[in-house]
Structure 1
């Protein structure tokens, strides 16, 4: 049985952590499989968005599996490169939805924060247990959480190790929707359908533009010409959008 499952449903790639007996702790093998998944998603024009989920009710992921040590020099980066910890940061070009449940802590929490949309089951607890147990290293999760939550809320989680329930995470804007655990897969598919109703090339160009200038002053972002947006202007989808508007019909995107 693979520790990371990968399959496609139409235009949606499904990436599922599958080590529930170990609370989906990430091994080196899983790390490599995730790296392959992100590469395939980036390279396949027929994949328009992706869903990252996990098997089992108890945990989305508790982060890295430290029980076996692992060769961190060999690892591309925890999470297959999405997090940038221990290796180069891989940018996923397509929209990513994280569907999380149970324990979503440490590196598992960081991987969820790499997504563009987070759907949380009402059983979810987010947390950074590192300081509470006296462990702290090159911890990317602290850099992400302080950018995605209000400053004092983020610092309280970092400094106390206390977990945050899904309802509070939604209130602070960390997650997009909270649903019953049984509804989590359906909710993720519903969000994927909403994303894929838009032009996939426009979505990719918009994501690249938004994230590439996130840490720059607004005037710099406004004065930047984005290669992806300029390429999109010459695409078939751009012409299809204009024609559909003129003909008062829904556009039929090809991703070309």
Structure 2
């Protein structure tokens, strides 16, 4: 059975489920490889508009599979090159929504932070517990987390290694939205559906510019934003959007 299952709940929306419930969806190498391949394939689909990434009601992903690398040497760990398996997720041009129930610890928390929007259940458990086994985060837990919640909150999470609830994650800015556990996936799919109905070229430019500007100066970020804004005036969707607004009707965006 595949450890990453793809579903198509509706046109333009892909749902990826991590399917390793016996291990709380821990990220072993097979999960990592299948996730990388799934995103590589999704990245090539021109008619795709949004991606929802989830696990199950008990765990989004409980972390890395410690059994796989507990006895590795530093050279062996380096040779695994697991960082390359994250690249297709990072490079996804479509909006990615993480629907998080249960555990999102270690690599699972880092995986959620690769998404653009995180919908968390109230009782979800986020954390970076690597320090408790003599390690540290290695896939963004010191970098993405700090950018998301700031230095002082990030330091507390990574130095103590203690989990926080979905409610706490929302309060500190680690989750975009917090909902009752049973509503996590429906809400994420609703968001994906709404994004899929929007002009895809504008959506893609928004994602690209926002991410590029995070590590740029304000002046550079503003310049990139301005150029992308101007470029969208060359699209048919921009003209359709303006006409639909004036005519008080629903726009029909074609991605052109």
Give the aligned partner of residue 86 of structure 1: none
Q: Per the alignment, in what secondary structure is the counterpart of residue 216 of structure 1?
A: coil
Give the aligned partner of residue 36 of structure 2: 35
Is contact 2:128-2:137 (8 Å) kept?
A: no
Give the aligned partner of residue 26 of structure 1: 27
Is contact 1:119-1:184 (8 Å) kept?
A: yes
Give the aligned partner of residue 152 of structure 2: 152
Q: 1:133-166 CA distances to partner (integer Å, 9 max, x unpaired)?
A: 3222645211111110132111111111111111
Distance, in Å, in 2 between the alignment partners of 1:123 and 1:152 is 23
Give the aligned partner of residue 196 of structure 2: 196
Give the aligned partner of residue 47 of structure 1: 48
Q: Per the alignment, in what secondary structure is the counterpart of residue 188 of structure 1?
A: helix
Are the structure 2 counterparts of residues 76 and 46 from structure 1 closer, same or farther at C-alpha, using a change threshold of 3 Å? farther
Give the aligned partner of residue 3 of structure 1: 3
User: Aligned-residue CA RMSD in angstroms?
Assistant: 2.2
Pairs within 5 Å for 1:85-96? 90-96=90-96
Are the structure 2 counterparts of residues 137 and 251 from structure 1 closer, same or farther at C-alpha, using a change threshold of 3 Å? closer
More helix by share: 2
TM-score, normalisation: structure 1:
0.88
Distance, in Å, in 2 between the alignment partners of 1:62 and 1:183 is 20
Distance, in Å, in 2 between the alignment partners of 1:246 and 1:188 is 31
Pairs within 5 Å for 1:145-184? 145-184=145-184
Q: Per the alignment, in what secondary structure is the counterpart of residue 66 of structure 2?
A: coil
Distance, in Å, in 1 between the alignment partners of 2:234 and 2:82 is 35
Is contact 2:83-2:139 (8 Å) kept?
A: no
Pairs within 5 Å for 1:96-175? 96-136=96-136, 138-175=138-175
Question: Structure 2: which 5+ runs fail to align?
Answer: none
Give the aligned partner of residue 213 of structure 1: 213
CA shift for structure 1 position 41: 2.0
Are the structure 2 counterparts of residues 179 and 212 from structure 1 closer, same or farther at C-alpha, using a change threshold of 3 Å? same
Question: Structure 1: which 5+ runs fail to align?
Answer: 84-89
Distance, in Å, in 2 between the alignment partners of 1:122 and 1:233 is 41
Higher mean C-alpha deviation, range 222-231 or range 239-248: 222-231
Are the structure 2 counterparts of residues 162 and 225 from structure 1 closer, same or farther at C-alpha, using a change threshold of 3 Å? closer
Is contact 1:51-1:96 (8 Å) kept?
A: yes
Q: Per the alignment, in what secondary structure is the counterpart of residue 143 of structure 2?
A: helix
**How many residues get paired?**
249
Give the aligned partner of residue 87 of structure 2: 81
Are the structure 2 counterparts of residues 221 and 228 from structure 1 closer, same or farther at C-alpha, using a change threshold of 3 Å? closer
CA shift for structure 1 position 246: 2.5
Is contact 1:61-1:108 (8 Å) kept?
A: yes
Q: Per the alignment, in what secondary structure is the counterpart of residue 83 of structure 2?
A: coil
Structure 2 residue 54 is matched with structure 1 residue 61: no
Give the aligned partner of residue 243 of structure 2: 243
CA shift for structure 1 position 226: 7.2
CA shift for structure 1 position 224: 3.0
CA shift for structure 1 position 229: 5.0
Is contact 1:208-1:228 (8 Å) kept?
A: no
Give the aligned partner of residue 87 of structure 1: none
Is contact 1:36-1:80 (8 Å) kept?
A: no
